[in-house]
Structure 1
Amino acid sequence: MQNKPGFTFIDLFAGIGGLRVGFEDIGGTCVFTSEWNKFSQQTYRENYECDHDIAGDITEVAESDIPAHDVLLAGFPCQPFSIAGVSKKNSLGRAHGFLDETQGTLFFDVARIIRHHRPKAFLLENVKNLVSHDKGKTFEVILKVLQEDLGYQVHWRILDAKPWLPQHRERIFMVGFRDPSNFSFDDLNIPTERPTLSSILHPEDGSETAEAPFTEGAEARVAAKYTLTDGLWQYLQNYAAKHKAKGNGFGFGLVDGSNTARTLSARYYKDGSEILIAQKGKNPRRLTPRECARLMGFDRAGSNRPFVIPVSDTQAYKQFGNAVAAPVARAIAECMEPWLHNAVAIRPQKSVG
């Protein structure tokens, strides 16, 4: 069987490459990367082969300076649209959505690049609250730009990472094609067996090699620094009790290997409260950054090529909390594949909206 010629893609607002993973796995070659955070750039360089510099602020990059490409990937910043981001901006008296000059308008940088290069396809990712932001007006504008102004066939869906990873993580994915296709999110290969946290936690029984600073000793037990101090654990229990008395659900998430975790967020470095791992006879602990890498699908327990984590724990938690779940991106890439490879000369004639 003759191999299909590959395709090229660009990785905008790349983070640590969650979208890139999926498209490299189906034969794509990245020809341009943009990521403004220097720590994310460091992690990105350590994990992917890049024969190009990583651009910083995309607003300062002319579309003509970006190489031609078949696919555009963009996990454009979600803070202007997320519930937490909107609440924070409201409390500070700042605008959000498209009125936010520093982040909300970054979608239009995606649009100007699509308009200039006319790639075969794109995949955009954001928080699910994008759909309801400003009573749906924000998402309405985005779809209008992509469909009417740019002329792309657009499909979108909110997907939860739970079938692929032991984490409840809902994000919106928007797929666009320049030419007609019969792509459908209904054709995604979704696993039927749901994973649990036992698949990503350190076994602590000597079956894996110790990896400092995350694990130590002959049994590769999780380092003591990840166990909550008495003071922090008491604070979290008091905080949860206070909010429970008020009738709301704020509090920590205590789980074990048989569970699915809450959404890993960029604030995990603060107290780890959304995902605490129960421990017999002692306070619960946070996930280690290596477990976060597994929880986001960047590597698996026992992998021969673990994801390189060259930054501090604080930066690693931020990076994984902001990342795209890699297996979800891979599943979407596989579904898009028939319309991406340069070998595809005859496209399906069926056109769907």
Structure 2
Amino acid sequence: MMKKIGHLVLGVSESQIPFQYVDLCAGIGGFHLAMRSLGGKCVGAAEVNDSCVDAYRANFPTTPMLGDITSIDSPSDIPAFDLVCAGFPCQPFSKAGKQLGFEDESRGKLFFSILDIIDAHPETKGFIFENVRNLADNKSNWSVICEELKKRDFIITEDPLILSPSDFGIPQKRERVFILGIKKRDRDQRILPNSRITEGDLDLRKKPCENNAAFGILDKDVDESFAVAPDVEEALLAWDEFRFGTGIKTIGFPIWLSHFGIGIDRDSDFFESMGIAEMPNWKQNYLRHNRHFYHLHRDFVDDWVKRYHMYDRSKLLQKFEWNCGADVPDIKCGLIQIRQSGVRVKRPDLFPTLVAMPNTPIVWDEGMGHFRRITTKEAAKLQSFDPDYRFGESDNQTYRQLGNAVNVEIARQLGKGLLRLMRKE
């Protein structure tokens, strides 16, 4: 038997509770997949990126597309909804950007566009927002968000709710802040008597990742088109030889070839040529550590650099970080990412955060006999997307879209927890 509150229908099953929601800053539909699994019907999705819109339409063809939420003439024309889901743009708050926050004229104001839509829909009962963790680190931006939502009579997660797929047994370290809210009139006071929502109120089903869990999501018989370029593979194997050749199982600082000072005998001459006096303290430490390391292993390093033509390679391949300790025997047993900071190797427990940039994690494929990027299907597993989700034709585009997407399992658990806290009469 179902009971209806307005257009929110609550029944005896917590796994399928029919409700309506609007999907704002929707990306490729991570929130859509999560809410649909809970019985939700999407009354409209707003997204401006053309490739994301194409993917959204391909997978959810009956959902009306609302376009740019800043250009909706009459938000009240959007069909009635119970929940608002929104992954509003993270770039204004991300450490990878300029961190202009709400001062970002192009994207920082989208939060207020979301509020305009909520204001036009007094029937709104709750919301789930997602953003980068750094949003919660800026107390000024966080305070603005909390105050604006409480002004609208929402009980919210005032303490930042930081969650990662790795909290739910998914081998990806990807911390994001989630902001949830329920209108005071719509809460179940028996299970939410306080004036704020806590993680405990949501009854999330967490489970830890096991050791080496990252390799558990890898597919077999992967197409060789995912293999890295030969020069990249040669450089990765060269760095593995570097570790063994120097006899160092662990390296407690990043190795930067430019900081060795090859060909310069006097430390004072080298440090002066590098402008050490103008460097911040952390960079001075890196410089001194690298120079000392070079002195200890000079004969091997000079020969190694020459044999592998290391100074002729990309600057990204001239930097190396080993973050595995001594318990990972070689580079083939680790997870690799080539970043602006260089080649980084981590333990095979958790994949690094998928991001909307072309630095897809790299693994050694025993069957292929080569290093390869993880596939788009494997990346989709890390974001809990359905196996039959239809992405675009470009792999690079798919990696970027998944890097911007909300993790479906986290969104599902939060949606279920939020619905549990709502009145049922």
TM normalised by structure 2 equals: 0.66
State the match for 1:112 in structure 2: 116
State the match for 2:232 in structure 1: 232
Report the Cα distance in structure 2 between the residues aligned to 1:65 and 1:48, rounded to whole angstroms: 21
Q: Which amino acid aligns with 2:113?
A: D
Residue 265 (structure 1) aligned to one of 330, 355, 364: 355
Question: Contact 1:229 / 1:283 at 8 angstroms: preserved in 2?
Answer: no
State the match for 1:144 in structure 2: 147
Q: Deviations over 1:222-262 (max 9, x none)?
A: 11121111223456778x74289663963434468x52101
Kindly tell me: are residues 315 and 189 of structure 1, through their superposed partners in 2, closer, same or farther at Cα, counting changes over 3 Å? same
5+ residue gaps, structure 1, are 88-95, 205-220, 300-304, 346-353
Offset of 1:306 from its aligned partner?
2.0
Kindly tell me: are residues 173 and 276 of structure 1, through their superposed partners in 2, closer, same or farther at Cα, counting changes over 3 Å? same
Report the Cα distance in structure 2 between the residues aligned to 1:41 and 1:307, rounded to whole angstroms: 14
State the match for 1:285 in structure 2: 372
Structure 1 segment 158-177 matched on structure 2, within 5 A: 158-164=162-168, 165-177=170-182
What is the SS of the residue equivalent to 1:131? Answer: helix
For the pair 1:198 / 2:189, whether they are aligned, the reply is: no
Question: Contact 2:42 / 2:63 at 8 angstroms: preserved in 1?
Answer: no
Residue 330 (structure 1) aligned to one of 402, 405, 412: 412
Q: Which amino acid aligns with 1:158?
A: I
Question: Contact 2:209 / 2:349 at 8 angstroms: preserved in 1?
Answer: no
Residue 343 (structure 2) aligned to one of 244, 249, 252: 252
Question: Contact 1:255 / 1:278 at 8 angstroms: preserved in 2?
Answer: no
5+ residue gaps, structure 2, are 3-9, 12-16, 240-253, 260-282, 287-319, 322-340
What is the SS of the residue equivalent to 2:143? Answer: helix
State the match for 2:383 in structure 1: 296
Q: Which amino acid aligns with 2:383?
A: M
State the match for 1:75 in structure 2: 87
Report the Cα distance in structure 2 between the residues aligned to 1:152 and 1:271, rounded to whole angstroms: 39
Offset of 1:283 from its aligned partner?
4.0
TM normalised by structure 1 equals: 0.78
State the match for 1:213 in structure 2: none
Kindly tell me: are residues 254 and 127 of structure 1, through their superposed partners in 2, closer, same or farther at Cα, counting changes over 3 Å? same
What is the SS of the residue equivalent to 1:110? Answer: helix
Report the Cα distance in structure 1 between the residues aligned to 2:34 and 2:395, rounded to whole angstroms: 25
Offset of 1:310 from its aligned partner?
2.9
Larger radius of gyration: 2
Residue 198 (structure 2) aligned to one of 184, 187, 206: 184
Report the Cα distance in structure 2 between the residues aligned to 1:306 and 1:84, rounded to whole angstroms: 32
Question: Contact 2:166 / 2:174 at 8 angstroms: preserved in 1?
Answer: yes
State the match for 2:313 in structure 1: none
Structure 1 segment 122-133 matched on structure 2, within 5 A: 122-133=127-138
Report the Cα distance in structure 1 between the residues aligned to 2:362 and 2:225, rounded to whole angstroms: 14
State the match for 2:402 in structure 1: 320
Q: Deviations over 1:160-205 (max 9, x none)?
A: 2103211001000000111245153224333324262233210x2x
Question: Contact 1:127 / 1:172 at 8 angstroms: preserved in 2?
Answer: yes
Q: Deviations over 1:122-162 (max 9, x none)?
A: 111000000123xx2111111111113x2211114011210
Question: Contact 1:266 / 1:318 at 8 angstroms: preserved in 2?
Answer: yes
Report the Cα distance in structure 1 between the residues aligned to 2:401 and 2:384, rounded to whole angstroms: 13
Report the Cα distance in structure 1 between the residues aligned to 2:231 and 2:58, rounded to whole angstroms: 36
State the match for 1:208 in structure 2: none
Structure 1 segment 82-97 matched on structure 2, within 5 A: 82-86=94-98, 96-97=100-101
Kindly tell me: are residues 227 and 244 of structure 1, through their superposed partners in 2, closer, same or farther at Cα, counting changes over 3 Å? farther
Q: Deviations over 1:248-292 (max 9, x none)?
A: 963434468x5210101110xx242xx211234844211111111
Q: Deviations over 1:89-108 (max 9, x none)?
A: xxxxxxx2111110001110
State the match for 2:275 in structure 1: none
CA-atom RMSD in angstroms? 2.5
Residue 242 (structure 1) aligned to one of 251, 256, 264: 256
Percent identity at matched positions? 32
Kindly tell me: are residues 200 and 307 of structure 1, through their superposed partners in 2, closer, same or farther at Cα, counting changes over 3 Å? farther
Report the Cα distance in structure 2 between the residues aligned to 1:76 and 1:48, rounded to whole angstroms: 20
State the match for 1:60 in structure 2: 71
